[in-house]
Amino acid sequence: MNSASLREAVIDISAISANVELISDLTETDHFLAVVKADGYGHGAAVAARAAMEGGADWLGVIDGNEAAELRAAGIEAPILTWLHSPFEDFATHAELGLDVGVSSIDELNRAAAAGVSNVQIKVDTGLSRNGVVEPEWDSMFELAASLQSSGGPRIRGIFSHLANAGVEADSIQLAAFERASGTASAHGIEPELLHLAATAGAIGFPASRFNLVRVGIGCYGLSPFSGVPSAELGLKPAMQLRTSVVSVRRVPSGSGVSYGHRYRTDRETSLALIPLGYVDGLPRSASNRAKVWINEEKFKVSGTIAMDQLVVDVGDSTVRTGDQAVIFGDPLEGYPSADDWADAAETINYEIVARVGSRVQRRLRES
C-alpha cells in the first residue's frame, strides 16, 4: 500500500449482488429497491447501485435530488425514488432527471407538480413520526393528488411509509395504518402501481409488510438489521473491509501511558503498534479501549483513546512489524472483527460504523 491507499475500504461488489439476490429470493416481491443513500452507506453510491442491480434490484432509493444526480452522472438510468427534501427544493432536478419524488406534504406535491415532475410517490406517516403526510391530512392530500393526476399533472406511482421496528405490535399498528392510507387513496380513485412499507428488517422479518416492493439498505451491504443476529445467520455477507497498514511499532516499558488522557497504561514491557485511522475516518471514539483490530491472524484490543487520525494497539510479544496489514473490520467468517463488533464496542449500530467511514479512506473494489 502506498500513501495514496494507506486507508482502504475494500468493497466486495459480488457480495452486494449476492445479498440482493438472497433477500429478493426470500421476499419474492415484484420489485426490489436498493437504498444507496449516504454514498451507499459508505460503500460508494454508484458502485453499490450497479452491484445491487446486477443482483436483481430494479429500483434505487436516495434521499434527494443531489444524491440522485450523482447516480445519473455515473450513467445509471434505473428508476430512482427520493424522499427527504429541502424546504427550498423546486424539484427542477427531479423533473430533468426523471426522478420519482417521494412527497410528504401538500406543499411538496404542489411544488413537484409545478416543476413538471412526471411521477410522485406519496409518503404517509404511519407512526414513525418523521416525515410523511399525517393521517388527518390524508384525505385532502389524496384529493389533491387525484385531481392533479386527472388533469395531466404527476402520476401517483406509489404510496409508501417506513416502520419504526419497535416490535411486532407497533409494526402491526403501522401496517394497519398503511392499509387505511391506501384505502383512503383508493376512495379518491388512486390505485398506485407501487405500495411499500418494508426496509430490510420488515423485508426479512415481517412478511405482511412486503407488499409489492421492499426498500432494502443495510441488507444489501451484508449487515443484519437485527441486534444480536449476525450477518451469517441471515446468509448475508458483509461487503466492506476497512484496512490499513501498521505505520510503526515500538517497544515500551511497563507503566507507559498510551494516547490522550493516558486511558491505557502498559502493565508489562510490551510492543505498541500505531494504526493510522481515527475518528475522522469513522472509527467511533467511544470504542476506545474496547474494539479490536486484526493483525497477522490475531485480534488486539485498541489501547487507549482513539484520536482523530490514529489509534494504538498493545500487541504484547507478537511479531508485528511496520507495514503489516491491519484490518479494522470485515467479514467475521474470515476471522476479522465485524462491523457489529465495533458497533457493540461503541454502543451503536452497524449502520453507523460503515456509513461514517470517512472521505480520506479510499474505496477499492473487489470481486470475490
Ligand X SMILES: *Cc1c(COP(=O)(O)O)cnc(C)c1O
Active site positions, annotated: 37, 260
Residues 246/320, Cβ–Cβ less than 8 Å: yes
Query: In the beta sheet, which residues pair with residue 240?
Result: 11
Contacting range for ligand X; rule: CB under 6 A; set: 140-148, 149-157, 209-217, 229-237? 209-217
Residues 154 to 173 in contact with ligand X, rule: CB under 6 A: 162
Indicate whether 31 belongs to the interface with ligand X (CB under 6 A).
Answer: no
State how far the alpha carbon of 26 is from the alpha carbons of 98, 111, 170, 234, in Å.
30, 38, 23, 11
Q: Answer yes or no whether residue 18 interacts with ligand X by CB under 6 A.
A: no
The neighbour count for residue 191, using CB atoms within 10 Å, is 11
Instruction: Count interface residues toward ligand X (CB under 6 A).
Output: 13
Burial class (CB in 10 A: 0-12, 13-18, 19+), 235: middle
218 binds ligand X (CB under 6 A): yes
Does 35 engage in binding with ligand X (CB under 6 A)?
Answer: yes
Told to check if 65 binds ligand X by CB under 6 A, we report no
81 counts as binding ligand X under rule CB under 6 A: no
- Single out the segment in contact with ligand X by CB under 6 A; choices: 10-18, 51-59, 214-222, 279-287: 214-222
What is the footprint of ligand X within residues 275-294 (CB under 6 A)? none
Residue 71 binds ligand X, judged by CB under 6 A: no
Binding segment (CB under 6 A) for ligand X, from list 146-154, 212-220, 243-251, 291-299: 212-220
Do the Cβ atoms of 103 and 84 come closer than 8 Å? no
Q: Is 181 in the site for ligand X (CB under 6 A)?
A: no
The number of residues in the chain equals 368
Distant-in-sequence, close-in-space partners of 68: CB < 8 Å, separation ≥ 6: 62, 80, 82, 93, 94, 97, 99
Q: Is 328 in the site for ligand X (CB under 6 A)?
A: no
Q: How far is the CB of 168 from ligand X (least distance, A)?
A: 17
**How far are the Cα atoms of 89, 162, 196, 205, 327 from residue 199, in angstroms, in the given order?**
25, 7, 9, 10, 30
200 binds ligand X (CB under 6 A): yes
Q: Give contact residues for ligand X (rule: CB under 6 A).
A: 35, 37, 83, 162, 199-201, 215-219, 225
